[in-house]
Structure 1
C-alpha cells in the first residue's frame, strides 16, 4: 500500500519551509505516501443464527477456537466463486446496499468438526435454518450442520458440524449475504463525486488489511491464497472492474431492472487483501504497447478528457518493463488497470491487476499540476507496481512481516521512478524522505523491531498499527543498505531466485535471506564478514540503530544504541545487546576508502586517523542505516570545509552532516552550538538537499521556540541565511518569470520563497500578495505557477484576512483537480485568525465540506499553525469520541493525527494534559494510535528537558550570529 497523506512535494515543501514563520505552517516530513484506514469499534460477544449481535457482559477469556484471531490450520481454501450486485441508488431506507453469494472450495488438512471463516458486518441469508450450506466434492459427503453463529469480536462465521470432515477431501461452503455500501472507506464501500451538479456514486473496495470479510465470507489471512472467480451485476450505464480481465458481458432484466452481468477471468492464486471490485461510470485511456499487455488508466470522464491520465499511462509501461528485468520475472497478469478514486483513505493500494489510488496520486494535469505532483504520481505508481511481484506474487505469511512487503516497495520505487525519469536523480531522495524520516521514530525508546513476533500482531487494530513508518521507511533503509554492501547485481540475483522459487506462495523474511546468501556464495570474489542472516537479524530483530563514533586522532571506532532522549529507558530486551554489524563506507580528504565493517562495540582502524588538514567523512551517501559522530577536531575540520569549499563534499553528505549534528545535539552527544555551526555556510548553498535537511533540523527549534522570546533572534538568523538563496532564484528566473531548469532546483526555489516571506526578506511578501490579488481580481485566470501555489496560497492567507480565506474556500469548492484541492485545503490552515481556524476545524466533521479521507490531515495542518495548535488540541479532546469512532482503527491517518497535534508540546502543563487525556480514555483504548500516544508522551518529556537545558545558549547563539 502506498503511504498515506503522501502529499505532493509541492505541498510538502511549501508547507515545510513556511514552518519558519510564526504564522501557520504545515510540514509534510513524510512524502509519505502513508496508509490509512478507518475502522469502527468491534464489539464482543457472539450471535446464533437468528439473533442480532449483542455485546458480552462477562469478562472475555480465550478458550474456544473462535476466541482466537488466527484461523486454525485445519482447512485450506482452493477457490472462490463470488457474485456481487452493488446498488448505486439508495433503497427505501436511504441505504446503499450490495447483495451477493459466494462458494468457497476448501480442502480439509486436519480432521475437524468445526468450520471457521471470517465474516463481518454482513447479513447472512438463512439456508435451512443455518447461515450457510455445505456440500462435498467428488466422493466426499458433507456432514450436516448442527448449528451456526457469528462471533463479533473475532469476526467469524462458525459452523458446528454433526461429524468430522475427512482429511484430504474437498468441500464447498455456499453463503448468501447482503451488506451496506457505506462511506467508511473499507471493504466494499461507496465513493461519491459531483459532475455538472449531479451526484455520482462509485462502488469500490479496500480489502487490506482485514476488510475482505466485510464483502463476503472468506479465509481472510494472507497465507490463505486461492483462485477467485468473480461475477458482478451492475447497471448498464456503468462498467465493472476486478482483478482479472473481463471475459464476458450480458444484459438481462431482473425484477424489472435492466442489469449487465460482467464475468471476469479466474485470478491467479492470491491473498484476499489484494482483491478489488469496482462499479463506476468512469472512462479510461489505454495502451497495449507493452508486450501486448492491456494497460488502462481509469478516472472521472472529465479528468480523462483533460488528459490527466496520460502521464500515468506513459510511465506505467516502462516501469513494468524495468521491474520485469530487475526481478527477472514476467508480469504474470493479462492486464494492468489503475483507477483514481474521489474517496480513498490510503495513498494507493496494490490490488493485483486493479490498483486503486487517490486522485492526487494518479492524475497529472500537464498545465495545472506542479513538478511535485508529477514526481508523486511517478513514485506512487512505481511503489504499487513493485508490489505486483513483491507482495502479490510472493506474499508474507503473516502481518508481523509486513515490512518485507512495504519496505521493499518503498525502496525499489526509487529505482522504478529513476528508470521512468532518469534526469531527476530521484534515487538520492530516499535519504531525505525515508532514512532521515524514520531515524526520528526509531530513535525513541518506544520504537519496535522491523519484524515483530507473530503473537504481538493478532487483532485488526494491531495489524493496522504495523502500517507505520518503521515498516515502510526503515524497511526501505535497511534493504537499501543490504543492496549497497552486497552490490545491486548480487541483490537483484537473490531477489529473482526468491521470487521465482516462491511464486504464488507465502514466505517469512528468512526465506529472502536464504536466497540472497545463495547469490553471495555463487558470486566469485564476493565476501561479507558474516552470513546475510547473521548481519540482517541485527537490523530486523532489534529496534533502533547505532551511532558510530570515530576518533580521528586515535582511529578508535565505537557503536552505541542511539536514543534521542539519552535518559529514556529501553524496556525491550535485545538478544544482540544492541550491537549491530555495521558496513561503513567512508572517505578521507575526498578519497573513497575501502569499506570497513564494525562488528563489535569497540574497534580500531588506524587508517581512519587524520592529521594536519585531513578530514574523514563516514557513511558516504548515507548508504548505511546509522548516524556518525566524530571527535571535536574532525567536526571542526568538516565545518571549516563547509564554510570554505562545501562542494568538495557530496550533496548527500552535506545534508547528512547537518542532520546528524542536530540529532546528536538533541541526544546530548555533542553540544547544540556545534550543530548550529553546520548551518552557517548555508548562505552559500544553492542545492536543495542540504537546505531541506537544514530546514527540517531547524524546524524543531521553531516548534520549541516560536512561542518564546527566542523566536525573534531565530527569524533574524534565518533571514540572513536565506536572502542570498532568494536573490539567486530571483536572478536566474529573471525576476520570477521563468521556471528553474533542474528538478530539485524547482524545489529549492519553493524553499527560498517560502522561508524568505516568513522571515521578512524585502520584496517577498509584496510579491506573494500581488500574485494572489491578481487571482482574486480574476478568479478564472490564476497567474501563480503550479510549483509555487502552495507557498503563495499559505502566505497570502496568513498575511490576509477573512476576504482571502473565503476566496480560497470558494476556489477549493470549485476546483476539479484533486492536487489543487489539496493545496488549497492545506493553505486554509495558515490563517492567523482563531475564529477562522475554529470554523475550519468544525468543517472537518462535515463530509460535504471536507471529504472523510481528508479530515485527519486537515486537523494536522491546523495544528502545525502556532495559532491553531491549541485550538486543534482542544477540538481533538472535545470531539474524541466521534474521532475515535470514525478513525480509531485506521493506521497512519489516526496515529499521525496524535503525533501531529502534539509535535509542539514542550511544557510541563502540556505534558500533564497529555497524561490526563490518556488516563481519561484508558477504558476505551486508543486503537491504532496506542503507540503514537506513548511516543507523544516520550517526545514531550524529552522536549521539556531539551528546552530547559538549551534555551539560553540557543538564544545567545542566534542573537550573535544574526548581527
Structure 2
C-alpha cells in the first residue's frame, strides 16, 4: 500500500520534537522565530534529511549539535525541504536541530491569527489594531503542521512533543499538555511558558494557542490516576460564561467514553478552546480541542435553542477522537473514515446518552443519513475508503461520505451486531493499537473477534465500493420478492455500474402487533414469506443504508398505517419516495399522495423530512409558475392545521423538540403564504425594530428574520444587515447572513454576495449568505452570475484564504439548477481554471443538474395534472 503513496523517504523516523517559539511579532509581517530539535531514528544510512515545510524559511540546521548545514533546497510543489549533510548519518538515534522563521498567517491554517471584537476590556498585552483584537491558535489537519514548523508531517510518523513559547506576561498560552513551568522572558514584560512532554501522536494533532484567555472549569466524576480530572472551556476574556453549557457536556462525555471504550481518557487534562476565526466546525487536537465559536459557546439568554444540540454533538464528536483517531490513528489518509465516520456515530451515541429526550437518532436519520444517501447516489461520489496518493489531495475527502455515510454504515453494522458487541470490538481494537496506527482491516478483525462473524467479508463492499442499493419489492399473497440494484440519482444506471453485491439487512416489520424479523439479502434477489399483507415495512427504523421502492399501492397502505411506523420509519418512507421520484423509479404524485395525510403529524423530525422533500420538488419545478403555485398551495393546506395549533408562544416547561417544531412550522407556513403567520411575524419585527428587544423570542429570530426579508424589501434587508453589524449574540451573525439570503430581490442578493466578501465578514462565515441565496428559488441564478463576474476579483478573498470555504460556495451554489444549459456553462467556465480543492464538487454539481433536468422533463406533465385534479392548481 505504501508504494501507492507519495510519502517522505523512510530513512529517518522522528521520535520526539522539542519546539521553542520566540520573537512573536504582533503586527506588520506577523513573523516568529523557532527552534525545533527532532530526536530521530536513522533507519538506514543517508546523507540528507527530507521533511515537510510550507511557508517556512529554514535559516540553519545541524545534526547532533555539530556544524551548521547551509545546503537546504525546497520543493514548493510537494511542500518539502531537503537538508544536505556534509557526511552520512549512521543507523541509530540522532538529533536534528533546525532554526527557522514562520508567519502567524490569516488563512485559518498552520499557526494563525484570528480577529475578534472584545466584549470587555482586554489585557494590555493583547495584540490589536484600529478595528480588531487578535488571538492565535493552530489548525494542522490535514497537512498544515508544516506551515508552523519543519516536521515529518504524515499520520503514521508519530512522535512525542515538547513545547515552549515566549509571550507577553498577561497573556495565556495553551498546548496539548499541562503547563510545566513559567519563567522570565528574554525582555521585560515577556514570559516563557513550557509544557509537559506529550505521548506519541501524529503531527496533525499537535496544538498550541496564545491569547487573552479565561476559562470555566469542572471536574470529571470519575477519577483518573486517583484524581478527578480538570475539564476547561477557554474563551477570550468576557465570553467564558457562554462556555458553561459545553463544559457540562464535556466532563460527562469524557467519563462516558472512558466507560464504553473501557480505556481511561489518556491525558491529564481536557481543554476546549473557542477560536474566533475557524474554517471547520472543530478540531480534535489531543487535550486541546479547538472550536468555531458557534460550536462551543451558548448564551442562555440570547442563543437559539437549536444551537444546544449542535454544541452537545460537536463537543462529543471531538472528544470521541481523543480515543478513536488520537490514541489510535488511521495509518494513512485513505482511511480518514475510521476517524470521522466513527466519531460521528459515537458522538450521537453520547448525546443520546445524555439527552434521551432529544431523540437524536431520528434527527440523524432525517439529516445525516438522508444527506449521505443523496450524495452517494451520484456517479461522482467516492467510496468511504478512497485511495489517496498524495496527502495534499485529502481536503475534499473531509466530506459527507467520510462523515455521514461512514457513520450510517457504522450504525447499520452496530445494529446488526448489537451496540454492546460492537463497542466491545472497538475497545479491543483501541487496546491492540494504542499509541499507534491502524487500518480498516484491523477494525474488522477486532469486530469479528468480538462477534464471531466474518465482518470483513460482508462489510468490505460498503467501504470500498461506491454507492448503495435500492431494494425493489414485488408483492404476492403472503410473501414479497426483493431485489437489489445500484441506485443512481439520475435513474440511468448502466450494467457495469450495477455489479456490486451488497450485504443488506432486511429488517422486516410486519404483523399485528408489529414485530421486526431480521434477515439478510446477500444476493441480487430473494423471497420473504409469512408477510402480513395488511402491514409490512422493510428496513425497520431505517438502520440499513439503502432506499426501498414499494409498489404504489403499498405506499397508500403505509399512509393509512402511520401509527405503526416509528419516527425513523416515517422519515425513511418520505425520503425514499422523494428520491425515487427524482430517479424515475417512482413519481412525485406518489410522494404528494403519501404526505398529504400528515396534517395532524406532531413530530418535529417527520415535519422536517416533509419540508426538505417538498422544498426539493419546489426547487426543481420553480420555473413553471402553475406547478410552483400549486405546490405552494399544497404546502399551505398541509401545514395550516399544525401551525395554527402550535402558535407562537414558548411555555417555560416546553420540551426541546416541540420548540423546534414551532420554528419549522412557522417557517414552512410563511413560505407557503400563510397570511396570519406572515402578519404576526411582521408585527413582531416592527416592534423589535422600534426597540423592544423582547418582541421576538430568541428561538424565533431566524424564523422571523427570514420571513420578513422574504416578504419585504430593502428596508427589512437593511435592518437585518445593520443587526449583523451590532449583534453580540454568538450565533447572531450567522442568523443575519442566512436571513439576508432570503430576499427575492436580485439586486439585494448581489449586494449580499458583495457584502460577505467585504472586510466586515470573516472568511469562515462568508458562505452562510450564499447558501441561502443558492437555496432561494427566486435568486439562485445570482450565485452563478456572481461567481463568473468576480472569479478573478472579489472571490480572491476566499480562494486565497480557505479552499474549504470556496468548496462550500461551489457545492451549495451550483447544485440546485435543473437546466443542462447552465451545466454546460459551468463546465466551459472552469475548463481552463485550476479547480484543485473543489473538482469533486464541480463533478457532483454536474451530476445533480443532470438528475434534476431529467426529473423535471419526466414528471412535469403528470405533476401538473395531479395538482389540477386535486384542486391545487
Asked if these proteins are the same fold (TM beyond 0.5), I'd say: yes
Q: 2:326 — aligned with what?
A: 392
1:913 to 1:740, Cα distance in 2 relative to 1, 3 A: farther
Report the counterpart of residue 14 of structure 2 in structure 1: 77
Question: Cα deviation per residue 1:378-417 (whole Å; 9 max; x = unaligned)?
Answer: 0000100000000000000111000110000010111111
8 Å Cα contact 1:147-1:159 kept in structure 2: yes
Written as runs of structure 1 = structure 2, the 5 A alignment for 1:489-888 is 489-521=420-452, 528=453, 531-553=454-476, 554-567=479-492, 577-589=499-511, 590-608=513-531, 610-611=532-533, 614-641=534-561, 646-709=562-625, 710-730=627-647, 736=649, 738=651, 741-778=654-691, 781-847=693-759, 849-881=760-792, 883=795, 886-887=798-799
C-alpha distance in structure 2 between counterparts of 1:856 and 1:155, whole Å: 28
What's the counterpart of residue 127 of structure 2?
none
SS at match of 1:559: strand
Deviates further, 803-812 or 194-203: 194-203
Q: 1:823 to 1:86 in 2, by over 3 A?
A: farther
Which of 207, 214, 222 aligns to 1:283? It is 214
Specify the alignment match of 1:218 in structure 2.
151
Secondary structure at the counterpart of residue 113 of structure 1: strand
Quick one: higher RCO (CA 8 Å, sep 6+), 1 or 2?
1
Other structure's SS at 2:456 match: helix
The answer for the alignment partner of 1:155 in structure 2 is 79
C-alpha separation between the residues in 2 aligned to 1:888 and 1:668? 41
What is the aligned partner in structure 2 of residue 60 from structure 1? Answer: none
Question: For 1:788 and 1:398, how far apart are their aligned partners in 2?
Answer: 44
Sort the Cα spacing of 1:908 and 1:425 in 2 relative to 1 into closer, same or farther, 3 A: closer
Partner SS state of residue 741, structure 1:
coil
Q: Distance in 1 between matches of 2:515 and 2:801?
A: 49
Aligned to 1:234: 167
Q: Which moved more, 1:108-117 or 1:367-376?
A: 108-117
Aligned counterpart, 2:201 = 270
Q: Which residue of 2 aligns with 1:297?
A: 233
Contact 2:108 2:801 in 1 (8 A): no
Q: Distance in 2 between matches of 1:601 and 1:914?
A: 38
Cα deviations across residues 589-636 of structure 1 (Å, max 9, x unaligned)?
A: 35223311101001122234x43xx22100011111111122344333
Deviation at 1:110, TM superposition (A): 2.8
Give the 3 Å change call, closer, same or farther, for CA 483–105 of structure 1 in structure 2: same
SS of 1:826's equivalent in the other structure is helix
Q: SS of 2:134's equivalent?
A: strand
What SS class does the counterpart of residue 195 from structure 1 fall into?
coil
Residue 457 to residue 410, structure 1, CA distance change in 2 (3 Å)? farther
Q: TM-score, normalized by length of structure 1?
A: 0.85
Deviates more, 1:874-883 or 1:333-342: 874-883
- Provide the residue aligned with 1:39 in structure 2: none
Partner of 2:355: 421
- List gaps (5 residues or longer) in structure 2: 120-129
Looking at structure 1, the residues matched to 508 and 218 of structure 2 have their Cα atoms a distance apart, in angstroms, of 46
Report how far residue 119 of structure 1 moved.
Answer: 0.8
| Residues 14-29 of structure 1: pairs in structure 2 closer than 5 A | none
Q: Secondary structure at the match of 2:845?
A: helix
Q: Assess if the C-alpha contact under 8 Å between 1:407 and 1:475 holds in 2.
A: yes
Q: In structure 2, how many angstroms separate the alpha carbons of the residues matched to 1:181 and 1:293?
A: 32
Match of 2:137 in 1: 204
2:126 match: none
What does residue range 376-455 of structure 1 map to in structure 2 within 5 Å?
Answer: 376-453=310-387
Distance in 1 (CA, whole Å) between partners of 2:140 and 2:327 is 17
Q: Paired residue for 1:164, among 68, 76, 88? A: 88
**Whole-Å separation in 2 of the counterparts to 1:235 and 1:260:** 6
Preserved contact between residue 384 and residue 405 of structure 2 (Cα < 8 Å):
yes
SS of residue in 2 equivalent to 1:219: coil
Equivalent position SS for 2:470: strand
Deviation at 1:740, TM superposition (A): 7.5
8 A Cα contact 2:327 2:430, kept in partner: yes
Contact 2:582 2:851 in 1 (8 A): no
Partners of 1:705 and 1:795 lie apart in 2 by 22
Give the secondary structure class of the aligned counterpart of 2:32. Answer: strand
Q: Corresponding residue for 2:258? A: 324
TM-aligned CA deviation for residue 464 of structure 1: 0.5
Map 1:356-371 onto structure 2 (within 5 A): 356-371=290-305
How far apart, in 2, do the equivalents of 1:887 and 1:858 lie?
17
* Aligned equivalent of 1:947, options 835, 844, 856: 856
Moved more, 427-436 or 229-238: 427-436
Q: Distance in 2 between matches of 1:68 and 1:496?
A: 29
Please give the secondary structure, in 2, of the residue aligned with 1:434.
Answer: helix
Partners of 1:447 and 1:561 lie apart in 2 by 13
**Gapped runs of 5+ residues in structure 1?**
1-64, 137-141, 522-527
CA 1:84/1:593 → structure 2, altered by over 3 Å: closer, same or farther?
same
The equivalent residue for 1:52 is none
Distance, in Å, in 2 between the alignment partners of 1:505 and 1:746 is 45
Quick one: distance in 2 between partners of 1:403 and 1:310?
31
Structure 1 residue 543, shift from structure 2 partner: 0.9
State how far apart, in whole Å, the 1-side matches of 2:23 and 2:788 are: 37
Partner Cα distance (2:112, 2:650) in 1: 46
| Cα RMSD for the two superposed structures | 2.1
What is the rounded CA distance, in whole Å, between the counterparts of 2:818 and 2:830 in structure 1? 17
- Work out which of the residue numbers 412, 415, 418 in structure 2 matches 1:481: 412
In the superposition, relative to structure 1, how do residues 962 and 682 fare at CA in structure 2: closer, same or farther (>3 Å)?
farther
Query: Does structure 1 residue 107 correspond to structure 2 residue 41?
Result: yes
Match of 2:123 in 1: none
Q: Number of matched residues?
A: 850
Q: Deviations over 1:887-945 (max 9, x none)?
A: 379565333321211123112331221221232xx3x3212210110111121122112
Q: TM-score, normalised by structure 2?
A: 0.94
SS at match of 1:757: helix
